[in-house]
Structure 1
Amino acid sequence: MQAPFTISDCSRRLVGTDSALEQLSLPLAYDANEVRFIGVKGMGGIGKTTLAKLTFDNLFHHFEVHCFLDNVREVYARDHTLVGLQKKLLFPILREKIAEIWDEGCGSIFTKKCLCNKKVLLVLDDVDQLNQLEGLNYVEALKLFSLNAFRKEQPEEDFWELFEHFLKFAKGLPLALKTLGSFLYTRGQDSWKSELDNLHKITKPTVFNSLKISYEGLEAMEKRIFLDVACFHKGKRITDVIRILDSSFGISSCIMIYMLIERSFIDKDCENKIGMHDLIQEMAWTIVGQESKNPGLRSRLWLPNDIFHVFMSNTDLPNLKYIDLTFSYKLMSTPDFSGILNLEKLGNNFVSLPESIRGLSKLQFLRLERCKSLLVLPHLPSNIKLHIDVDNCASLKRLCDPSKLSICFANLYDFTFNSVNCITLVQDEGWINTILSRILKFAAEGPYPSYDKKFTQIVSPRSEIPEWFSNQSVGHSVNVELPPPSCNNWLGIAFCVVFEDPKQNLANPAALICPYTLRQYDEFHIGVLPCFPNVTSQRCKIGSLVLEHLWVFYLPSKLCQAEQISFTTFYDYECKPGLNVVKKCGAHLVYEQDLEELT
């Protein structure tokens, strides 16, 4: 027996949705034997996505196939194809055969075949933007604003007069009510009056003004983090963003990220990825744009047209610290970097880099991943904090000038690097020396490195452990006999692990299906047991590795207390003993004389 259409308990806690859900119940009659298309239109911030999700949650159990495809416009603009959306729709049906969808035409055929004669509920969220839809009524607006400003459905008695002014300013728009209310939460009447004075100075208030008022209430560092997230990090995993921000600003940004979530500037989805309402992101872009009419004088560049203008006009960029050139597929090289001495991050699809990059003494991140035509790096700045990402640079041959290759262990660079899938780079005759020189760098830094501990490791293609690692074993554990406590010249242990992508030799692809979500695990990570507090587990996306890889890392002696070290593979934090990707492992105790031999 089918349950009647009712409003869930969850939806009752969301203000202003009851009447809208009831209006959708009739045209969405799930017992109708026909195809129905229903559109919900309106300006950004009025709650279209919320309404769509609530409707989906209430109705999906009445359908054989159901799917909520969110951010359709954004996904299509990014991928320029519908294949990803088609796969998401059909995965519950096709499972391991999902790989057979390789283009839109094939996806359309499978869609017709799989969904024919089935009862289907499909929601496409954010496929376009239209103009107007009315906001919440007074009672609904009062309730929503109070829930965010006081965490209850009615305001405090002493705040009623101030409360009314803010309601009038928000004009019933849910996003403005939520953002302003979250900003005013726990603040006293003086703060409310101060913000109201600021609002009264605006002659023609708009949604942007209400959001900007909340932004102005942030501390200086909170503003910088918010603008970085809005310009560069929407859609990324929170853990990855926190790592980048920690390194960029030299602080712990975790608490600020969650403060921004608490104040409704950003949100996170079920996959712990950062989300942000379009209007809030547009406000951030406007704030950066208002720094100067000249893009070269702004603090951040991310729009392709602005970057093209700056590069082609050779504009000096004294304020620029981060350039994101991702997806700039036609950009083959860059002009002189001598005018942007404060640059800290750089990322692109380069074929070559100018020699002037050596003058960027403050450069900390050089993102070159997927620069498939890049052959060699020029001289780079001497900066111990510099980290270079050359993942998937399949043509890259060397990390240094060829004239230096004749010097023993000449690959002793100041910088650290990632080199996943760099299949040409590891064929260089000096590559093993490069690995050993990294261990020298890690060990020479002592127990408390001055650079990010997350970068004290190397990952690169290779199926054999170098002979230098004296303790070697097949499998996922290795025994190490530790020196006695009286030994004072022991520095630490270097570890080397050979691992593969779980898809490479998997006889049963269904083993990678999560039993809870019924979807394939997105990534795996290798943990070190016993757990070491300063070691980041190696994390990779499933299906991303073309060959077996080495993972090399170093632990100072203060952290080494166990004589048996094992490497366990986790899938979404779940251990699967039959799917351990570690094939071999090795270790080498590093002493002071090792440093002398390497140098």
Structure 2
Amino acid sequence: MMMESATGSRNEYDVFLSFRGIDTRQTFTDCLYEVMKGTGVRVFRDDDEIQGGKNIKDELWQAIESSKIYMPVFSKTYASSKWCLKELAKMIEITSRSNGTKEILPIFFDVSPGDVKLKTSLYKNELSNHAKMYEADKVKAWEKALMEVGKLKGWKPRNLGHGRLITSVVEDVLIKLNNRNKILTKHLVEDRKQVDAVMELLDINSGGTHSVGIRGIGGIGKTTLAKVIFNKLSPHFDCSSFLENVREISRRSDGLVYLQKKLLSSIHRSRNNELYDVDCGIDMIRRQLSNKKVLIVVDDMEEKDLLEKLVGECDGLKSGSRVIITTRNLSAIRNEPKTILDYEVKEMESDQSLQLFCRHAFGKDFPPGDYESLAREIVSTLGNLPLAVEVIGSSLSCKHDNRALWIEVLEKLRKAPLGKVRESLMISYEELEKEQKQVFLDIACLFVQEDKTYPIFMWSDCNYYPNYAIDVLLHRSLIKVESDSKFRMNDQVRDLGRHIVQEGDCKYPSKFSRVWTHEDALNILRSKQGNEHVEALKVRGHTFTDEELLNLPNLRFLRGTGLNFVGNFKDLLPMLRWLSWHHCPPEFTATNFCPINLVVLDLSSSDITEKWGGWTQIQMAKKLKALDLRNCKCLTRTPDLSNFVDLEILILAGCSRLITVDCSIGKLRLLKTLNMDGCDSLKELPEEVGYLESLREFIFPRSSKLVTLTESVGNLKSLSSFSVKYCKGIDKLPNSIGGLVRITHFSIKGCEGIKKLPHSLGGLESLVKLDLSFSGIESLPDSIGNLKKIKVIDMGSTKLKSLPDAIGQLEMLEELHCPECLDLSGEVPNSIGNLFHLQILDLSCTRISGLPATITYPSHLEELHVRDCRDLTGEIPDAIGRLSCLRILDFSGTCISGLPATISFLPCLKELGLKECEELRLVPKLPSSLISLVLDAYHCEIIPDLSNLVTLDHLDLSFHRYKLKAPYQLEELMSPWKIVESIHQLPSSLSTLHLTDIPPPQQFSNFMNLSSLSISSCSMAHLPELEHLKKLRELSITVCPSLERIPDLSCLKSLETLYLSELGSLVAIQGLEESESLESLQIICCESLEGLPQLSKLVKLKSFELHDCQVLQAIEGLGCLQRLKHLTILGCVSLKRLPDYPRFTKLDTDWKEPETSSAD
């Protein structure tokens, strides 16, 4: 027999063709083979139908093993050939263990998928014939292979000619093979989330031209991400080009012309592109790109005008073209004539970084057990930066036997960033201006994970132009500022900044401009000379003398805990802008302590009172912007604040003994933030609070002693939010709140004493969110209809009795939340149909009795929750099928009797809840878009068909056998096998499957992506094997009294949680001893369980609970489990002795040592 391959090595193929020679060899298959061969695809086919199937050679199996795509061509007599069936079974076997790297693409040439799935006699009869000649197991495997492949998406020629069909097949194969690849490291760990995010921005299925900028610091993986996307997308374009190292090459004298030539050669497939200058290149590129759909990657671009010189104007490209730019600098892609969409590369997740490190260091995805903690520490120290992870991983790849060396490397990395990484990051640093460098170094040394507000005050007073500087640092991805306004910085970038500060001489910290370690700070203070370089100092528990501070003339930042100052400080600290003095003593002994340039004073957690001696001296700090007194527990009255006229932030949070706010607070006309959260003893607010005309944020105290709010609160015209939470002593709001015309958020959450809102609420014309949850509100004023901008109302867990008709006037309302309103009854008002922008309606756990027909008018409705509305009865109206945007529909715990057939018309429905619907008789066909289904089919008269739910990810299904009055219906209704059959046809993407009172399917081979499996109340004695569930993380088997054994667990390499309960016949747990990834183990009420295997290999186990296993006599191997923290043993009366367990484990047990009989 001669084997034939198209193009390339005999040992590796792109496509393996499986076909019946007498049907298609000389026609369709031959044409397909030749066309693929012509496009460069490496194809395998057997030349002579393997001589009637005799003497199959090992080379055929090797060809299947080495191919990436399997393409069975199903024809009329395909199943009559045992070799075709053998090939098909081999494909299924290899694909199932390929982790997605191999794929089957069937062609249903002149048969239907139903024929292949054995729903007709065509292939069924052939299998019957084979059964007469071959072993039953072999024929069963062929049958299984046909049924599995029959469910796959493939090509059905129908009315297509062979030419069009072959074109479609080859195009798809080329896309999947990514023939025009950029070479990637073999150790690549692909981040699917980031790839998908950029692909979504590129949107190649839409018209027009799109450009996307991939932005991030050096070494974070921008180029790798661009290469992955280039490889995936390039087959979709007429031509493609990847221009690498643009920043570096463009700085050469001929660099731009070189890059233009490279681009043109990619387009022309030719190197004969004569260019004399850049302008000539621009003109030629413009002409060449105008009629081709192109994909271009411009890698590492720093200057904005480079893009036009290389690609021209994006509008000039042919529709469908796409341009990707990678850059360190957002400014390089901003302010272009055509918008370039920005994507900032995220840091790798810790597990991905560890995987990448291990591939370089160990050649596999996981570290050996004795190196795991060390490997994790190294990866963490490297800040999850791919470049750093790769370099260090590779450097340690041949040193697995030298643990001391690994420890030295870790210590070295903790002290300074990696040289190669430092060089890459320095490019961004060196391009900063002087003030921007100062801000960058301050953040790296002092402010990582800290709020930006106080540093901005300091930098502004130092003329560092902080807002501009921060913007530049953000553009260069050197920092991040998240929604919480805190600075974030990659660990390697932070270490770069600290290295820059220390690079003069690490042995002499007095040369440092910023000192952030206590030991270095003490060395500086002891030296008493030559400290003029020091601008920032962190120290603790030190008593400063005037002589020490005389040697720190340029100190602008001082932070310490438990400090003290002794001496005369006249004319000292002239540059000090920020003093953080936590736990300062109640006695103040310094004299002339007058830091006149101070803008931030933080005295948090100090024992000072309003009589503290420091107040009079600090009054001289008239530039003060922020005064932080949080958690000053001894403060009963605020000090005189009248001198701090520039103050913008006053923090009194946690001053739990504060009773009175001094009236001088009214002098703070520039105050923007007043935080009194946790001032639990406060009895009243002074009238002068109303003078704070600049106040934007006022966090009210949660004080039960505060019983009234002053009417002057209504004068706070700049206030953007009004939040009086959990003030249980307040029983009404002042009518003046209607004057707060700028507030967007209003909350009285938890104010149980407030029963109603003032009519003036309707004057809050800017209000966007109203939070009344957990308050005592019983009704809403009609004036609520005036809130024309409101988008969210939350009235959960209130005393609300009804929804007013005025609710229908809130034309911009998007979310209405009324869960747990136990007094809310009757029908929802018809006016709700006027809320055309409504997206979420939550009426869960209320006593509403009906939904109006107008409920279907809000065409944007995405979520409808009526869970546990026990008064909601009858059938749901057909009109619900009009809610085309509906994503979540939860009727769980209601008394509805049926769903309309129109529910199948909901194209976006993702989650459907029908749990504990005891009156539900009918579940119609469900929309195929469902991702999550929770269904108790207790009383259903017709068993629902689930086979069309092709995208289902979570299934929680219960079926209780229904006692019927009509005996003739008994057989059909008592059998749950129809549900079981439809479960078997569910998609392989299913990740969660919970079954109650339903036998599991006969096999789980179709559910390879299952991560959570729960089986409850099943009467079977045995369960199907689980060897296909490689991704299973959670397994729960409960209330199965006849179950004698559970499937072998040793194959579940990802299993983290195992819960076994009320398995009265279970005698052993096979494979438990090999479950090395297990973290939580619970075995409860397994009365027949005689023993457990050795558990010493369960090295990741953290929690182990054993209850009421009455015949269990011993537990072995727990002493080796160092991660075990919680051990519970209760009701195990036959246990001879407590097992050894790690020292730090928390033990909960009722075990008593058996008494020794007198005979012994």
- TM-score range for the pair, normalised by the shorter chain length: 0.3 to 0.5
Higher relative contact order, chain-length normalized (CA < 8 Å, sep 6+): 1
TM-score scaled by structure 1?
0.46
TM-score scaled by structure 2?
0.26
Q: Which of the pair is proportionally richer in helix? A: 1
